[in-house]
Structures are given as C-alpha cells and as structure tokens.
Amino acid sequence: MKLISVNVSVPRTVSIGKRPVSTGIFKEAVAGRVPVRSLGLVGDGQADLANHGGIYKAVYSYPFEHYEYWSRELGRTDFVPGQFGENLTVAGWLEDEVRIGDVFKIGEVLLEVTQPRVPCFKLAHKMALPGFPKFFAASGRVGFYQRVLVEGEIGAGDAIERIKTDAHGVTVRELMQLMYFDRQNFPLMEKAIAVPALTPGWREELAGLLSARDFEGKGRG
C-alpha cells in the first residue's frame, strides 16, 4: 500500500445554481512533507463542518484504483489527484478490504477508519455532473474518513501499513450499503454500532433504526 498524493485546499466560494456556496472540495496536490494534526492536514480546511472535518472526519482518503474506473465510466481523462475531494490519494486501500476501526500507519502518523464518505451536491459541481453523487454512492467507490490517533508528517510516496484490523469487522463497502441501500439488515447494524471507532452520527442513526424495529416488534406483539 502506498500514498500516491497529499491534497489540501482552503474553502472557496463558488456559484452553484444561483447561489454562492463555500466549499473545500477543490483539493490540490502538495509537494514535500505535510503535517497532520488531530483536526486534519495543515493547509487544509472544510466549509461545512456539520458534514466534514472534525475529530472523526479529519482526513478523507480515496483509492487511486478508482480513477481508472471513473475514467472508463465517464469517458474522461482529465482527472488529477484530489479529483474527488480527498486529502489522501492512496493505492491498495479498497473499501471491500478496509474495515471500520482499521488503523493504518503512514510515516509517523496513525489513522483510524471511522466511516464511508457520503457524496453531496458539491461533488456534483466539482465533476460538472448533476447526477454524479448517486452514481458515486451506488458504486461503493466512496473512500473513507479517518481519525488521527498520532500526529506527524506524511508525504507522497510513503508506504502505508495496516497495524490493526478485525477480520470479522464491518467493511467500508458493507457499511455504505447498509446505510443507504440495505436498511433492513439489522444484524449488520448491531455489528456496526458495536465498533468503537464508528462516528457518533452514524452510530446514532443506526441505533435509531434498531430502536424503531424494536418498537414496531413490541407493537405487533
């Protein structure tokens, strides 16, 4: 596994439709070593802190292997690192192999996987494709957020080492499918909320679905 590119940006205001919108999705590759802090990479920023950033979503990683897939699907060859708004463009780090709670070491930095990335209208604007977020989510090629366990510096070309995993845990792909396309899979929900690394927001939503199931079950009883 390898770190292909480190990408950052500060929020900028763009026109989407008829309204100005602040966004930090326009990531650009940077050279040299980049400090990683508990709230993200130095030089990077998020505009919508309700849905991006913070301790549990400090870093967003996206597999480089998906660039070829989207190039074929969309018939485009204009992609550059950071294309999908990711901080880290990585190789060998795929959603059906990465589990929530996995810890990876890059240089001296330790990152813990916390949840899949959920696409929004800002990605549609970046890609100049209004319907792209739906295709992106349905593909399962969404990348994942991470929490910074140990701060330090990273740079393009660094090796990535997985130092903690649960072979029976919930993969990023399974969790994305569960949240958006398989919301009746209660056994997997119970398994997911038991993972300490899961973001509080996703834990609360899944717990709510389980509570609703239990309430309906009592009502029928």
Secondary structure of residue 133 in the 3-state scheme: helix
- What's the predicted TM-score (pTM) here? 0.93
pLDDT confidence of residue 221:
56
pLDDT confidence of residue 219:
57
| More confident site: 5 or 215 | 5
Burial of 218 (0-12, 13-18, 19+ CB in 10 A): exposed
Average pLDDT for residues 145-166, to the nearest whole number? 97
Q: pLDDT, tens digit, for every residue of 5-57?
A: 999 999 999 998 888 999 999 999 999 999 999 999 999 988 777 777 899 99
> 2-167 is classed in which CATH architecture?
Beta Barrel (2.40)
pLDDT confidence of residue 4:
98
Q: pLDDT, tens digit, for every residue of 79-101?
A: 999 999 999 999 999 999 999 99
Secondary structure of residue 132 in the 3-state scheme: helix
- CA 55 and chain centroid, separation: 13
Q: pLDDT, tens digit, for every residue of 116-148?
A: 999 999 999 999 999 999 999 999 999 999 999
What whole-number percentage of the chain has pLDDT above 90?
84
* Whole-angstrom distance, CA of residue 58 vs CA of residue 69: 26
